């Protein structure tokens, strides 16, 4: 399958600072990228969907001003957690898909980023 690389794998930051997480598709052009959040012993919850060159579509309850998503190129999307607080500590996972995203298109996942805010 295609490769999606997420960086960093883990990060610790101080409360009030911002953290950027990168998601790269290494061998295909990702027209659609998804960002998920996973709390311990919980499901992956979709935060937002982004299409290259367009504004991200956020799921209900996700603060767009806190979780800034940029999908400026076909191989890179970034998630910036602004003014992070301890409750933002979580596991963040990106997913990417190429071409026209329909029922038969497979999405490939990054390895995830463990964010700890202290």
Partner 1 sequence: GNSVTQMEGPVTLSEEAFLTINCTYTATGYPSLFWYVQYPGEGLQLLLKATKADDKGSNKGFEATYRKETTSFHLEKGSVQVSDSAVYFCALRRYSTLTFGKGTMLLVSP
Which residues would be at the binding site for partner 1 (CB under 8 A)? 1, 4, 6, 9, 32, 34, 41-44, 46, 49, 93, 95, 101-104, 106-112
Q: How far apart are CA 83 and CA 114, in angstroms?
A: 17
Nearer to partner 1, 4 or 117 (CB): 4
Q: How far is the CB of 3 from partner 1 (least distance, A)?
A: 9
- Pair 51, 73: CB distance under 8 Å: no
Nearer to partner 1, 19 or 95 (CB): 95
> Following DSSP, what letter does each residue of 40-53 receive, concatenated?
TTS-EEEEEEEETT
Nearer to partner 1, 18 or 33 (CB): 33
Question: 99: phi > 0 → left, psi -120 to 50 → alpha, else beta; which?
Answer: left
Nearer to partner 1, 87 or 102 (CB): 102
Q: How far is the CB of 44 from partner 1 (least distance, A)?
A: 4
Eight-class DSSP state of 57: E
């Amino acid at each position: 399958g295609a490769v999606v690389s997420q960086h960093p794998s883990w990060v610790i930051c101080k409360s009030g600072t911002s953290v950027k997480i990168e998601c790269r598709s290494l061998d295909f052009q990702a027209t659609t990228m998804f960002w998920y959040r996973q709390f311990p012993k919980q499901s992956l919850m979709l935060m937002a969907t982004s299409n290259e060159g367009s504004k991200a579509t956020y799921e209900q309850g996700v603060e767009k001003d806190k979780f800034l998503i940029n999908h400026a190129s076909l191989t890179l999307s970034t998630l910036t957690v602004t003014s992070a607080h301890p409750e933002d500590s979580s596991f963040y996972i990106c997913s990417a898909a190429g071409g026209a995203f329909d029922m038969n298109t497979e999405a490939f996942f990054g390895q995830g980023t463990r964010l700890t805010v202290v």
